Structure 1
Amino acid sequence: MQLVLVLQQRPHTQSHELVAWRVPPVDGPRQSAVRAVELRAAMNLSHTRQVGFSLGQRARVSPAILRRKEGDKNVERIPDFSERDDMPWMVRASVVSGPTTAVLGDGLRTTARTAHTSGTLNPPDQQPVRALQLFRQESAVVTISIPFGSVRGETVRSPFGDAEQFLGITYAEHRGRFLAPGAPPRWSGLLDARLYGPACPQEPSRVIGWKTHEQRCLHLNVWRPADRQAKAPLPVMVWIHGGAHLYGHNASPVTAGARLAARHNAIIVTPNYRLGALGHLVLDHLLGPHYADAANVALLDLVAALKWTQRAAPALGGDSGAVTVFGQSAGGANVAALLAMPAARGLFHRAVIESGTGDRAQSRDYGRRRTADLLALCDLDEQQAAELLTLPVDQLIAAQQALVHSRNPRRPNMDITFQPTLDPHTLPSVPVDAIAAGASSDVDLIIGTNRNEASGYVPLDTPDDAVDPSLLPLLARADFPHVDDLPTRLSERLHLLLGRPARPGELVEAYLAEQIYREPSQRLLDARRTAQGRTYAYLFTWNPPHNHERRGAAHSLEIPFLFQTHDLPDAREEVGTAPPQGLADALGAYWTSFARTGVPTAPDQPRWEPYVPARRATALLDDPVRMADDPLRPVRELLARP
């Protein structure tokens, strides 16, 4: 198959837009494979031109319009990346120059929905129109039988060896809006699992070029190493994506599991789950007990995914007695909620909470008020609540986003409007309280944060005159009404940690990072003081050289290192062009050995000591990794909540 793209220079700029494309006809059953692509990177129009693009999930240019002929009509549309083929690609770039073509040559062959290349073109002149040609390379087909039917996947290549991937497998029936998921579907014949499925409905700007579908989004992806010579079953790791409980999906190139599976001999599972109002909306007081689960159907989706994993693990070559659930940000908060949920008991044996919290659970009274506010934004009253069941999903998402924005007028951190809700059946108590009382005591647990979690809200290098001088005192008075002159005391303690005076932006960032992420994680660590299982703490401290003054060790920065995708263009904006391979090796080894045995170990890395409140041993995840006791003690003690 061949896909031809034509890029046209924008007037008076050095960037290009996609102005035409075509898929020449080919023989065979998969003729209509590719529907769209993403242009990555503006092009340099000097004599030496750099080309960079990918078949990826997120648009990097404000949206290119695809113009093509359908019959006698010219059709315009925004790229829809979910419709493209999922085969590996080999890339060829060329410059169109009248009757002649200067060809760059073959590019990099990659796998699994993304193809990346860069090269240098030395054209005979400065022609502004170029064509990029992509040739599909077929992958080896893999067929397996699981308890629900037979599945066809494919082998994909990685720098660490081949992996087998099975994409978009439905793990539970979608029984209806606001209803708990049903049983996993069964099928006869062969299920083709070579394409990612749609994302769950969310704000459109978060999934540009990616399909969403309310009824068909409860699916998961599986990766396993292709070379499974070991006779022992492999550990199974279930990843829960983040996104403020509002957005995200299981098809990000950065969290594709092929590399982690191949490099560290584990099975990786990535489920979708319902988001926002579709995942957390209190309705039983208006619609009756049939909708008693509506407040936490997102969590029940994850329980269903874990049940599917338990049943399928042996057929996949996995150990159903060594299932680890790990998640970041809102995904980490969901992991904490699963630790507290009776319905999740026994479905996993180890857990990792990255930049999450155990405090996140709203009261039912709050949930009822939130429902009333959402109804008002939908031009409905409580007597019309049943209309939410059939309201077009895009209208529901628009009202949801209006509600979220209305609750963030001043504070730089997002008010988590939709989140797990206290419920006597699904989530009886706040996760940190349930864990302190012994919930999931036998589960081994890793908990940690990144040093500069809040630099996405307040960049570290924010100019002094751009920081509202009233902001930090305002936040401090609200959170610590009985503490005098907290900003000055925080400044003194940061000076001690940094070895220099802290800038205003650094002060606000440190306060927010502590209050939103670190202090809740600390409370969760301390709640495990009597747990039977082992507990470990980490602080991710690596600073990207290109961005250390602005972002530092920012929220989510550890993810590409963990998934071994730190060298992909999708991660480059955060990690830079030369991220340390040693850090990726350490994170991958620590996490997968923990999944296998409950003890995080890594070759040529220091021994990770368990956490106990008297010592607070913490792994400092950097290049190199170090161990320290209570590394941020001055700030922790100042901002600890009573």
Structure 2
Amino acid sequence: MPRPAPGRRAVLGACAATAVAWAAPTASASARAARGPAEGRAEVARTSAGPVAGLRTGATVAFRGVPYARPPVGPLRFASPRPPVPWREVRDATRYSPAFTQTIDPDSREDALYANVWTPSTRGRRPVLVYIHGGGWQVGAGSWPTYDGSRLADRGDLVVITFNYRLGPFGFGYHEELTDDTTGDCANWGLQDQAALLRWVRENAEAFGGDPYNITLSGTSAGGASTWQLALHPEVRGLVRRIVPISACHVWAPATSLTVPDARRAYEEVAARIGTSVRGLRAVSADALRDAWFTVFGGGPVGRAVGSGREYRGPVVDGRWMRGFDHQLPTPALPVLSVHTRTEGSFYTGPGSPIPTPAPTDGPSLREAVRGVLLKGAERVPDSLVDGCVDAYRAAAVADGLPLDPVSLWTDVWGDGLFRYQNVRFAERHARTGTTPGYLMEFAHPARAPWFGTPHEHTSPFLFGTQGIADNVGECGDGPGERAVSDTFIDLVASFARTGRPSAPGAPPWPVFSPDRPSTLILGEPGGPRTAHPTKARQLEFWDTNGWAPRIS
């Protein structure tokens, strides 16, 4: 068994905590009656590659560590994913696979392309919810216990699937010397893995009691961005019926993507450090390649060999798997339920930040802290941009009656610039130009002291019902109010996956989003769910005209 995953604040960029689900069964009696054998009994599902044995625990059966692709090792490093090698004997599927190789997990490895499935029963035809973990395209795993799908599958009467995909230099980059001779692809291997997983789900959903033609794709942060990107890809769009991007870290250069020339140079720098050619990177140890990559991108973005990929190194526009950045492409032609948190930035400015940065205490230090945020998305940041940002956020806070202390202002700049601004503006664009329903949720459940606000990734424990375990409970809480928020979140997502219309007993009617009326569902406030306009709209106006972030029109 791999070691327990690191705590959620140890990740670089965006990943949830390790956790274990608690069960509060609420499914219908008829659904319960079809759930099969008693707790502790093995159950077998017959996949396209061979039979696998999972284990029933409580109201669900879990199948862990099911291969969805061949191990991407040796000559298959930097190759497009291949189907798994078939087997005949029943394969044990009661243990997670290790995470894909990453700096924060010593037990991680390249042989990690496995899926995990939770289902109330292998009989039936339920909606399928596929979830893509976040982690800045560099860390994370579908096996982290925050993503234990048992409660989500039980309460929502869903088949829930998580999985691992290639990360870091193995998953996201570009170089012609790494071209796959079979497919012609030379980039974005992690995105290719995600597409391969969806093809595997289409082929195998029925074996787990799922409907192969009713697949909803969801993910948080980098996983939310991947959800959006896959919905735009013509080869994948037909596999997915709906999407639920959560706090999507939409990809754009230079903040979260390498340009093609910079990606080429990065692999050449890595190869030179190791003493090999770019082609030779297939033969070096995974640890050596990974460590050299993170040396090239170590420290702050100022002074690196390349100017792009300043905050994260996500998918590269290669013309094949990424035909353009999200803001350059049409809105997805699928129903969308988009979620953002009220205070995305407090994940980074609160206790245990994955990117520790001294907190500002006065006007001068606030300006330098804001400059640091702006340098994540630009190679040069003039004083006028810094001053304009600080002034705009102060004025908006005064108008809205919000705190004016340096940490609060810095937190909103961070969260809005990298997450909330694009999430809201993409929802507005979908409302204007899309041909499918779009829904917008603002998750507002406050973190407990000493954490504050509603941080980025605060959604995951509530979606999966894992807010009550040791790594999460201190920040999330686990009283009746938290359980009600989790119940409502699950109900909304499950109903959307089932019918395309989100509804819940604990929520008011939720209309299709329109910027012209109060149609954003606010979930997690003390008074209960309500519909309203997105909060802190004045703050977002700053990003519309300064040229720092992509203009979404």
TM-score by length of 1: 0.71
1:519–1:292: structure 2 CA closer, same or farther, 3 Å change rule?
Answer: farther
Tell me the CA shift for residue 634 of structure 1: 1.3
Q: Which residue of 1 aligns with 2:99?
A: 199
What one-letter code is carried by the residue in structure 1 that aligns with 2:413?
Answer: Y
Q: Which residue of 1 aligns with 2:83?
A: 183
SS at 2:468 equivalent? coil
Choose from 405, 428, 452 the match for 2:343: 452
State the alpha-carbon separation in 1 of the partners of residues 225 and 48 from structure 2.
30
Choose from 500, 516, 520 the match for 1:618: 520
Tell me the CA shift for residue 372 of structure 1: 2.9
What one-letter code is carried by the residue in structure 2 that aligns with 1:370?
Answer: A
1:302-381 mapped onto 2 (5 Å cutoff) = 302-360=194-252, 361-380=257-276
For the Cα contact (< 8 Å) 2:518–2:531, is it kept in 1? no
Q: Which residue of 2 aligns with 1:239?
A: 131
State the alpha-carbon separation in 2 of the partners of residues 594 and 183 from structure 1.
31
SS at 2:449 equivalent? coil
Choose from 305, 315, 323 the match for 1:420: 315
What one-letter code is carried by the residue in structure 1 that aligns with 2:473?
Answer: R
State the alpha-carbon separation in 1 of the partners of residues 211 and 278 from structure 2.
45
Asked if 1:221 corresponds to 2:116, the answer is yes
Tell me the CA shift for residue 434 of structure 1: 1.9
Q: Which residue of 1 aligns with 2:60?
A: 163
SS at 1:155 equivalent? strand
Deviates more, 1:360-369 or 1:504-513: 360-369
For the Cα contact (< 8 Å) 2:22–2:468, is it kept in 1? no
1:163-562 mapped onto 2 (5 Å cutoff) = 163-174=60-71, 176-203=76-103, 206-207=104-105, 211-214=107-110, 216-226=111-121, 233-285=125-177, 292-360=184-252, 361-380=257-276, 384-408=277-301, 415-436=310-331, 440-441=332-333, 443-459=334-350, 462=359, 464-465=361-362, 468-471=365-368, 474=371, 478=381, 485-497=388-400, 499-528=401-430, 529-547=432-450, 550-562=451-463
SS at 1:457 equivalent? helix
State the alpha-carbon separation in 2 of the partners of residues 584 and 542 from structure 1.
10
Tell me the CA shift for residue 417 of structure 1: 4.0
State the alpha-carbon separation in 1 of the partners of residues 2 and 65 from structure 2.
19
Tell me the CA shift for residue 243 of structure 1: 0.4
Deviates more, 1:306-315 or 1:483-492: 483-492
For the Cα contact (< 8 Å) 2:359–2:369, is it kept in 1? no
Tell me the CA shift for residue 577 of structure 1: 5.1
Aligned residues: 496
For the Cα contact (< 8 Å) 2:227–2:245, is it kept in 1? yes
1:435–1:619: structure 2 CA closer, same or farther, 3 Å change rule?
Answer: same
State the alpha-carbon separation in 1 of the partners of residues 214 and 296 from structure 2.
41
SS at 1:426 equivalent? coil
Q: Whose strand fraction is larger, Structure 1's or Structure 2's?
A: 1
Tell me the CA shift for residue 185 of structure 1: 3.2
Q: Which residue of 1 aligns with 2:536?
A: 632
- State the identity %: 27
Q: Which residue of 2 aligns with 1:120?
A: none
Tell me the CA shift for residue 409 of structure 1: 5.4
> Alignment RMSD, CA only?
3.2
Tell me the CA shift for residue 621 of structure 1: 1.4
State the alpha-carbon separation in 1 of the partners of residues 49 and 90 from structure 2.
11
SS at 1:640 equivalent? helix
SS at 2:231 equivalent? helix
SS at 2:278 equivalent? helix
State the alpha-carbon separation in 1 of the partners of residues 183 and 499 from structure 2.
40
- Higher CA-based Rg: 1
For the Cα contact (< 8 Å) 1:143–1:153, is it kept in 2? yes
**More relative contact order in 1 or in 2 (CA 8 Å, sep 6+)?**
2
Tell me the CA shift for residue 369 of structure 1: 2.7
For the Cα contact (< 8 Å) 1:178–1:293, is it kept in 2? no
For the Cα contact (< 8 Å) 1:169–1:220, is it kept in 2? yes
Deviations 1:404-425 (A, max 9, x none): 32444599xx934421011122
What one-letter code is carried by the residue in structure 2 that aligns with 1:293?
Answer: D
The answer for unaligned runs of 5 or more in structure 2 is: 11-19, 24-37, 352-357, 375-379, 546-550
Tell me the CA shift for residue 139 of structure 1: 1.9
The answer for unaligned runs of 5 or more in structure 1 is: 1-34, 38-55, 63-87, 89-107, 111-136
State the alpha-carbon separation in 2 of the partners of residues 450 and 562 from structure 1.
13
Tell me the CA shift for residue 584 of structure 1: 0.4
1:483–1:464: structure 2 CA closer, same or farther, 3 Å change rule?
Answer: closer
